[in-house]
A and B are shown apart, each in its own frame.
Chain A
């Protein structure tokens, strides 16, 4: 039954460091070549892949945005027709929210969280591989449909009845709804992995008050994903059923309700904003320390603000529905809660300012992006408080004011910190530094281009320009500002192009990075750049919130782990005391096969309900293959 522990010479206690690292490399490696790429379960390879794919979708979404700006640069433009324009703005929103913003944050966490908590791989690494393949398939589905003129054209929130069976002919709305299933499935999978990694795989000694703020942010975000995403999956499943088998969830003629869609969608949709923002806030809290050269001010306040935001996020969804004619009392409640969420955001803001004020800031590119974030996000937050008020919202609902507001919070609040994070963690991922000169150029072009593009949209909105119109008449007073916006968007585009050039150039020719180029205090900088397949030769032992600042030369570590099987440490939830030497699964092709089977079933089910019956059989087979023990050392107990 329980086999004897091991022969003594397989304990790392007994072997020299080079033998240790080569034994670990042999056990944890991803074989080179195509097969290795398909079967890997290394969180770093999957995380890198995830980040890369998300940025490809960002670039594609950016192209759509550029097309829209081209069209709107003059009145009565004939470049894009109304039908194509509907597809383009729907694709832009759906792509940016579901294929870029949420996945990229989770992707960064997939790469970083296991390193930051000092473990060897993410929890459920095969699920992680599965998640990536499902995400890729969902993205491919959406973009292939668009290429075939079948792209969704009902807006990124696909309101019924427009997306319902009566008005949404063809399969366009179904493509949107099923893309939701793909992306939410992949996001939920990562959320589970992150929660368990953070709860149970932290390095010995990393008590709750020694967890880096970014990791806390990802924990709260993961719970938001777990609690919010089922709402949109239920909503979109109901939509597919209404369209495919004639249910009546959203059909008022048969006792259904169109507002039910809005409630379900925004019960997910508002937390979604924080699913995007909280990781970014966590990145800022983590990155600010090495550049301010002091610990972040108010650790407890920062963490509590993340948790408070996570809870309040579920009490605001109706502010997206102020013009839907709901009872006034309900509106007042949601106005109050929408304004209340500014409090934890404010707490974080003041903590960051205090950190910089009391620190000795070094203005490298990541800190520039943090400064850009602080300014831009505050503006977006202020317009957020404005639209939380019902009379004001009634005036600007569905106008460019709202477009300006949410680009300020999403780009300012999430993309700027993300770009800073790319510059900051790039050396860890690639082993090379990004160019500081190109970084500064891209920062200034992006910040100037962004504000010049989106600030005038507030004014356009106040002047009554509705969002989602494909053109406007020459006698309306919008032309001048639209030209200005379109020209400014060129500056923004050049900024992003420079950023991409910097990434590709630095990956090949950048200066070689040391292990800890920023003198940062968190564990991911304790290992080499890029880290080896097993992350750490020996698992770190943590004695404070800033383990690498306690002693800059020596890292306390634990030994006693086996090298002949993939082994990591499971620790207790609160005090991170060691509990077990748990096995971590080996590479496997089954996650890919399961993802292929799931993809076939999900796409087939757009066309026939029987797909759910017959399509589930190969999925079951793949899952059995996945979980069936292979008799490897990992199966020992």
Chain B
């Protein structure tokens, strides 16, 4: 077919930020997949709970302390996380570098507390179905934190290299911050499920 040029795209930017970035949408789609996974895992918890005559099954209620500590740390981490997203939008390299280091620490600390959270469930995964489902909920979310932490660490290193000062990287930092918000948001219903449903 003959072509008729009706539009000049030469002035468009070489990379879109926010909703103009395919990575942003891809992150959103992966969040939808994982969100569905978490929702279904919680549904499994509620389903098994609805079948049991006593819940928790043959186990004491889980200890509140480590889980609540993780919740607090994750809650506090939202402050630097929101700041780093703003700094990335302003393309402020220095602040973003510092922010990435802080966010790396905020990824590691909850994992350290998490080590104490598994024994605080006071039931083993192979004791009964209650043990299995709380372990899988906590395990899934731990995987979630680890994945985001690895992403954050790699991105933090990247921001200190020659590849750092690039709009594309600032977009990555924003997407990573958005994903961390999601990691925190998914924790809240899981926390409520594991620690508070059994106390109602």
Using a CB–CB cutoff of 8 Å, the interface residues on chain A facing chain B are: 1-2, 5, 11, 13, 123-124, 188, 191-192, 195-196, 199-201, 204, 226-227, 229-231, 233-234, 237-238, 241-242, 245-249, 251, 254-257, 260, 263-264, 267, 515, 526, 537-539, 541, 548, 553-561, 567, 569-570, 573, 578-583, 620, 624, 627-629, 631, 635-637
How many of B's residues come within 8 Å of A, CB to CB? 58
Cβ of B69 < 8 Å from any Cβ of A?
A: no
Cα–Cα distance between A196 and B19 once the two chains are bound (Å) = 11
Assembled-state Cα–Cα distance A226/B39 (Å)? 13
Contact B12–A192 (Cβ < 8 Å): no
Q: Using an 8 Å CB-CB cutoff, how does the interface string of B156-188 with A read, 1 for contact, 0 for none?
A: 001000010111110000000000000000000
Contact A230 B37 (CB under 8 A): yes
Contact yes or no, A554 B7, CB < 8 A? no
A570/B5 contact (C-beta < 8 A), A230-B33, A249-B44, A255-B129 known: no
When A1-B91, A255-B48 are in contact, do A557 and B3 touch as well, CB less than 8 Å?
yes
Asked if B26 and A2 make an inter-chain contact with CB atoms under 8 angstroms apart, the answer reads no
Given A254-B128, A255-B128, CB of A560 within 8 Å of CB of B4? no
Residue from the set A254, A538, A553 with the largest chain B CB neighbour count within 10 Å = A254
Question: How far, in whole Å, are A11 and B9 apart by their CA atoms in the complex?
Answer: 10
Q: Is the CB of A254 within 8 A of B44?
A: no
Let me know if A578 and B12 touch, CB within 8 A.
Answer: yes
One of B114-122, B130-138, B190-198 at the interface:
B130-138
A637–B9 touching, CB < 8 Å = no
Give B contacts to A, CB under 8 Å: 1-16, 19-22, 25-26, 29-30, 32-34, 36-37, 40-41, 44, 47-48, 51-52, 57, 91, 125-133, 135-136, 150, 154, 158, 163, 165-169
Question: Could you say which of B11, B32, B129, B158 has the most chain A C-beta atoms within 10 Å of its C-beta?
Answer: B129
* B9:A560 contact, CB within 8 angstroms: yes
Residue pair B7, A637 in contact (C-beta under 8 Å): no
A581 CB contact (under 8 Å) in B14, B36, B91, B135: B14
User: Is B10's CB under 8 angstroms from A11's CB?
Assistant: yes
Is the beta-carbon distance between A582 and B126 smaller than 8 angstroms?
no
B128 with A226: CB separation less than 8 A: no
Q: Given the complex of chains A and B, what is the CA–CA distance between A629 and B171 in angstroms?
A: 14
Task: Check A264–B14 contact: CB distance below 8 A.
Answer: no
Task: Compute how far the CA of A637 lies from the CA of B4 in the bound complex, rounded to whole angstroms.
Answer: 29
Q: Is A558's CB under 8 angstroms from B44's CB?
A: no
Nearest CB on B from A208, distance (A): 16
Bound Cα distance from A2 to B167, whole angstroms: 7
Contact A580 B3 (CB under 8 A): no
Chain B positions within 8 Å of A579 at CB level: 12, 16, 20
The 29 listed contacts between A and B (C-beta, < 8 Å) are A1-B165, A5-B10, A13-B10, A192-B29, A192-B33, A200-B25, A201-B22, A204-B9, A227-B36, A230-B40, A247-B132, A251-B129, A257-B51, A260-B44, A267-B40, A538-B5, A541-B6, A555-B1, A555-B2, A557-B4, A560-B9, A560-B12, A573-B19, A579-B20, A620-B150, A627-B154, A629-B158, A635-B166, A637-B15
Centre residue among B1, B20, B32 by max chain A CB count within 10 A: B1
